[in-house]
Amino acid sequence: MIPDLSRFARAALWDHITPLEQAANISREIGGGPLFVKRDDANGLAFGGNKVRQLEYYLGDALAQGADTILMTGAVQSNFVRTAAAACCKLGLKCHIQLEDRVPKDDFEYNKSGNVLLNQFFGAALSFFSEGEDEQAADAELEQIAATYRADGRKTYVVPMHPSHAPLGALGYLHGARELVDQMNEMAIRPDRIFVGSGSGNTHTGLLVGLRLLGDKTPVTGVCVRRDAGLQAPRIRARCDHLLTMLDTGLALQDDDVEVDDTFLAPGYGRAGPQAREAMLLAARLEGLIVDPVYTSKVLAAAIRFSRAHREKTSIFIHTGGGPAIFGYAENVREMLNEETAPEES
């Protein structure tokens, strides 16, 4: 059972259930097993995504502390900061976003379109940070900026990036896990495996802990989108243990509960390899579904590989959003489409 979460402050951002849909056209095309999509990309707030569930708890905490200014850090095309900028509008908070140089890309659309344009549309203040791989340094820079806001009389709240902070965002995916289990029961779906993106780890952690608290033993593969499996596995284990301590339920995870797969991470964060590009086109052309080049294409690629290998097995792909990145990465999307139409060499 998931314990009562009312002791954790929550800001209401989204109060609906996201669909669980079958991607029957993809399964048919690849000759694979049944594949379902949990549509957290369709959760309403500003193009949606997994970060809406997470922000309910970060921003709930911020409001409980009396903050009026939120500071966040993320990659240039981060979905987290875009969703936060929109959520701050809804909650009447000022938002400051720090964009980190994390991807070797410098074209106009990457720097100005997609999520960046939306951040500006939502009126967030933007600053830039030249280091993309040092979470502690990014947080420290944000703390310095927060001090300047405080000097102007504002009450600041920094949403940290470094994994030493309490995994408040993962609380949102306890609700996600409950919702998914209810849908699996209603639809009589017994998945053999669930695939979810694993970056900061909040989604993976909340979903995995939530399922286990509900007594659901379905294997969960965290598909690495940011760092390799050797780094991600201990990070997720520590995040899960931290969350379980916060919840104080007495549950402990088994060693084999934490599974991560970095097969589709190459060529690196923010860059889609061939299987991820294939997943983007299959989703678009067969299901009318947008999966992005940074996160969800890699997760869907892992689900497709599983489905191809096990015709008799059912899988669920947690679609965590990221749609606006299609515009931020338009150069790469066009390259992909050009490759597709390029004449074969004879």
Binding site for ligand PLP (CB under 6 A): 49-50, 79-80, 197-204, 225, 292, 295-296, 320-322
Query: Residues for the chain: how many in total?
Result: 346
Is 317 in a helix, a strand, or coil?
strand
CB of 319 to ligand PLP, least distance (A): 8
Contact in structure between 218 and 193 (CB atoms under 8 Å):
yes
Would you say 115 or 218 has its CB closer to ligand PLP?
115
- The bridge status of strand 193-198 relative to strand 315-319 is parallel
Would you say 282 or 299 has its CB closer to ligand PLP?
299
Residue nearest to ligand PLP (CB): 322
Judged on CB neighbours under 10 Å (0-12, 13-18, 19+), 16 is exposed
CB of 146 to ligand PLP, least distance (A): 21
Contact in structure between 300 and 179 (CB atoms under 8 Å):
no
CB of 157 to ligand PLP, least distance (A): 19
CB of 200 to ligand PLP, least distance (A): 3
Please list the active-site residues. 78
Tell me the C-alpha distance between 145 and 292, whole Å.
Answer: 31
Would you say 117 or 154 has its CB closer to ligand PLP?
117
Would you say 202 or 314 has its CB closer to ligand PLP?
202
CB of 155 to ligand PLP, least distance (A): 26
Tell me the C-alpha distance between 116 and 103, whole Å.
Answer: 14
Q: What is the largest CA-CA distance in the chain?
A: 69
The gap between the terminal CA atoms of the chain, to the nearest Å, is 62
Judged on CB neighbours under 10 Å (0-12, 13-18, 19+), 297 is buried
> Helices marked H in the chain — which ranges?
24-30, 51-64, 79-91, 108-112, 114-121, 135-151, 168-186, 202-213, 229-247, 274-287, 296-309, 325-328, 330-341
CB of 296 to ligand PLP, least distance (A): 6
